[in-house]
Amino acid sequence: MKIVNVVGARPNYMKIAPLIEEMEKHAEIETLLVHTGQHYDENMSKLFFEDLSLPKPDVYLGIGSGTHAFQTAQIMIEFEKVLVRERPDLVIVVGDVNSTVACALTATKLGIKIAHVEAGLRSFDRSMPEEINRLLTDAISDFLFITEKSAEDNLLKEGKARDQIFFAGNVMIDTLLKNKEKARQSQILDSLKLRRREYALLTLHRPSNVDDEQIFVDILKALDVIRRKITVVYPVHPRTKKKIEEFKLTSQFPFLEAGRTDDEKRFIMVEPLGYLDFLQLMSQARCVLTDSGGIQEETTVLGIPCITLRHNTERPVTIDQGTNTLVGADRQRIIDAVCKALEYDNAAAKVPVKWDGSAASRIVQILLSEMKK
């Protein structure tokens, strides 16, 4: 059985790594790894691949940046050539980036079966490009591997057959649990002169937060208050860095200036980090502020208070059972949530069902069985 595995952006790497590792245990599976190049920073890709022990991609499409339409179309054009040449039995796509939907569309047009890992998650906010990608990918996928019960409910309401849905667990957590001890060897805390539980970690990149100047300014005003209570560490996203320059925000918020190291700043901006360095920073933080999806899941398993700078989440289990609190972009709600997090070191959380490090094994076993039918 020939399986093409697709990655395109950094969140995909953590999801595909355990699947490829598991497939390599089965002689009857031939794997091909295709990297679309949607995230095209060569150094960052190389670092993630090394951290996760991912094999070098068999095919690199080199698509790069562009509008949603351009990026999706270019991926389809180039991926079609790969599928025509390789004629795989199955294409596996993960997550919700443009590469996910583009490669799924290409495969289904050629009559090739599709497995979507991390299916059924819904924010019910169609202004999010990722929500459109999730809806379309699930609509055309043959095998839907879900991480939580809400995903099954969503898929059934959308008309998917129950026998297409498989509750396998969370492959991102497979990767986290496998690398947690390895991440402890990271020197990132020493290099940034940080002590465990004495800093907050920030990720901020979503267009709804940084593309609107007023919303971005409100978040920065909250961060200006928070950094006076606890040091904030921010691996700055290229998109956000560009907006800081475009809106000329360093004049209004001097703590954003690169290279400042005075004690009053207490806001440490660093370049994007590799997986192991970031995992160590996250696991030792007092709390995490984020607008990312996967970090909501990782903090739940780590028991770290997570303050999500969004009005919705496609991962409700992280609120029901986990450490996650939604605060949107409201300045006072952000500040209040951080103050609450500072009152204790660890949040009380349950690890969701099947977030146990064995999701990839279950997925591969299911695919071996289902593809024989």
Q: Residue 363 maps to which CATH number?
A: 3.40.50.2000
Domain count, the chain: 2
Q: Kindly state whether residue 176 falls inside one of the protein's structural domains.
A: no
Asked whether residue 228 falls in the same domain as residue 317, the answer is: yes
Q: Kindly state whether residue 178 falls inside one of the protein's structural domains.
A: no
Q: What is the mean pLDDT of the chain?
A: 94
Rg (CA), the chain: 20
- Say what the pLDDT of residue 46 is: 80
User: Residue 145's CB: how many other CB atoms inside 10 A?
Assistant: 28
Residue 209 has pLDDT above 90, yes or no: yes
Q: What pTM was estimated for this model as a whole?
A: 0.95
Identify any residues that bridge with 270 across adjacent strands, giving them in sequence order: 235
| H or E stretch at 289 | strand 287-290
- Say what the pLDDT of residue 344 is: 74
Please give the average per-residue pLDDT across 331-350, as a whole number.
88
Coil, strand or helix: which one is 370?
helix
Asked whether residue 273 falls in the same domain as residue 145, the answer is: no
CA distance 167 to 363: 9
> What does the pLDDT look like over 289-314, one tens digit per residue?
999 999 999 999 999 999 999 999 99
Contact 338, 309 (CB under 8 A): no
> What does the pLDDT look like over 239-267, one tens digit per residue?
899 999 999 999 999 999 876 666 667 99
> What does the pLDDT look like over 34-81, one tens digit per residue?
999 987 666 667 888 999 999 999 999 999 888 999 999 999 999 999
| ∠ Cα 299 301 304 (to 5°) | 40
> Which residues span the domain enclosing 79?
2-170+355-370
Mind spelling out the 3-state secondary structure of 132-171?
HHHHHHHHHCCEEEECCHHHHHHHHHCCCCHHHEEECCCH
Write the DSSP string, 177-218: HHHHHHHTT--HHHHTT--TTSEEEE----HHHHTSHHHHHH
Q: Which residues are catalytic?
A: 205
Please give the average per-residue pLDDT across 115-138, as a whole number.
97
Asked whether residue 148 falls in the same domain as residue 229, the answer is: no
Asked whether residue 276 falls in the same domain as residue 207, the answer is: yes
- Residue 124, C-beta contacts closer than 8 angstroms, at least 6 positions apart: 131, 312
- Say what the pLDDT of residue 40 is: 67
- Residue 46, C-beta contacts closer than 8 angstroms, at least 6 positions apart: none
Quote the tokens at residue 151: 């995903």
Cα torsion 365, 366, 372, 373 to 10°: value is: 160
Q: Kindly state whether residue 94 falls inside one of the protein's structural domains.
A: yes
Backbone torsions φ then ψ of 226, nearest 5 degrees: -65, -40
- Say what the pLDDT of residue 260 is: 66
Asked whether residue 74 falls in the same domain as residue 133, the answer is: yes
Identify any residues that bridge with 288 across adjacent strands, giving them in sequence order: 201, 306
- Residue 173, C-beta contacts closer than 8 angstroms, at least 6 positions apart: 297, 298, 301, 355, 356, 357, 359
> What does the pLDDT look like over 145-193, one tens digit per residue?
999 999 999 999 999 999 999 999 999 999 999 999 999 999 999 999 9
> What does the pLDDT look like over 103-115, one tens digit per residue?
999 999 999 999 9
- Say what the pLDDT of residue 109 is: 98
Task: DSSP letter for 114, please.
Answer: E
Asked whether residue 336 falls in the same domain as residue 364, the answer is: no
Asked whether residue 193 falls in the same domain as residue 102, the answer is: no
Asked whether residue 269 falls in the same domain as residue 298, the answer is: yes
Backbone torsions φ then ψ of 322, nearest 5 degrees: -110, -150
Asked whether residue 210 falls in the same domain as residue 284, the answer is: yes
* Cβ neighbourhood burial of 260 (10 Å; 0-12, 13-18, 19+): middle
Q: Kindly state whether residue 177 falls inside one of the protein's structural domains.
A: no
Asked whether residue 164 falls in the same domain as residue 236, the answer is: no
Asked whether residue 295 falls in the same domain as residue 161, the answer is: no
Q: Kindly state whether residue 175 falls inside one of the protein's structural domains.
A: no
- Say what the pLDDT of residue 246 is: 96
Asked whether residue 299 falls in the same domain as residue 359, the answer is: no
- Say what the pLDDT of residue 42 is: 65
Q: Kindly state whether residue 179 falls inside one of the protein's structural domains.
A: no
User: Residue 79's CB: how many other CB atoms inside 10 A?
Assistant: 27
- Say what the pLDDT of residue 347 is: 65
Q: Kindly state whether residue 348 falls inside one of the protein's structural domains.
A: no
Q: Kindly state whether residue 12 falls inside one of the protein's structural domains.
A: yes
CA distance 217 to 311: 17
